[in-house]
Every structure is written in structure tokens, then in C-alpha cells.
Amino acid sequence: MPDPNPQALDFLLNRRSRPAKTLRAPAPDRDALRPLLTAALRVPDHGKLEPWRLIVLEKPALERLAALVPTRAEALGIAEDKREKAVAQFRDADLVVAVISAPKPSDKVPAIEQTYSAACVCLSLLNAALAAGWGANWLSGWASHDEAFCREGLGLRDGESVAGLIHIGTETVPAPERPRPDVEALTEWRTA
């Protein structure tokens, strides 16, 4: 017989990300963030490769990244509205955890499974922050997929990429409701 945890299931059934643009200070300090990071790393990790790492971006680092965006946007021909959105994503945040996908060489674990594991870290961190009472949102955006921006701004190494930017802070407005997926429409039951 299973040993259910109704509170955990209720949390998962009702969890909602908070829009990053509505999150403000205070953000968790290092002592408050450590258990969230610890929870985030408890994900499926075939082969125990730890194919990810975390970069905690505090306000000065976020301001530095915001200042890098316009140069890269111009070099890439990014439209002004997308440029400003990327600047604001960094400039207006107080704390962001960059989850870095860092696949390891392995004969047993394909790189794609390692990438999926990094995505699991993103969701686990998002849920841990929400469970701890913080507002949180998982974002990416064009800058996080630009190799030059990631090398210069985040110090990414060869083969690494940003799996997600997890914004964490204090909620300033209630999370909006939105339609949820229709389980029946998306689920196939097979008996043979």
C-alpha cells in the first residue's frame, strides 16, 4: 500500500508560477536559498553524472548582464522590443538562478537524457521556491540561447547551455489563473 503525502500532491496540483516581472525584493538570502538549491539537485540523474551546475545571479551580476544585452542584440539584429524585454529581465530582477546544462561524456547515458535532467533541476528549483513561499518563474529568452552572451556574461564552457533562468523573489500581485491542460485530451490509455 502506498504511503500518500496529500499536502505534497495538493501543492503540485495547484502550483502556479508567478510572473517574473511582478517579483520584487526581498529575494531569499544565501541561507534561505541553500535548501532550495539542495532540493533542486534531487532530480533523476542516470549514472550519477551531475550534468548541470548552478550560477546564482545577485543584483550586481544581473545589472552587468542587463548592460551586455544591447551590444549582443545589435550584433544579432534583435528587434528593439525584444531587446528591451531582455534588458528588463535582468535589470528588474533581484535574484536569478541560472541552471546550466553541462553534459558529461558517457557511453551509458545519452546527452539528451542529461539535458532532460537539467530541465528537471529547473522545475525542482521552481517548485522548491514556491513551496517555501517565494514567487518564482522559469524563463529563458534569446540572450540565454546566444553562445557569445552566455560565454561573456555567464562564463559558460564548451558544451554547456542555459537550461533555464529561475527568477525568485517576493510576490507583489496574486498569480493569475490560466487554462490548464486537458488530461483526457492529452492522455492515451493502452492495455495491449
Q: What is the 3-state secondary structure (H, E, C) of 30-49?
A: HHHHHHHHHHHCCCCCHHHC
Q: Give the C-alpha distances (Å, rounded to integers) separating 41 from 54, 56, 95, 121, 167.
A: 9, 14, 18, 6, 17
pLDDT in tens, 14-69: 999 999 999 999 999 999 999 999 999 999 999 999 999 999 999 999 999 999 99
> Average pLDDT for residues 143-157, to the nearest whole number?
97
Q: Which domains does the chain show, CATH number per domain?
A: 21-171 (3.40.109.10)
Cell, residue 139: 524563463
Q: Give the C-alpha distances (Å, rounded to integers) separating 176 from 37, 126, 146, 165.
A: 26, 17, 30, 20
Give the integer Cα–Cα distance in Å for 99 and 92: 19
pTM above 0.85, yes or no: yes
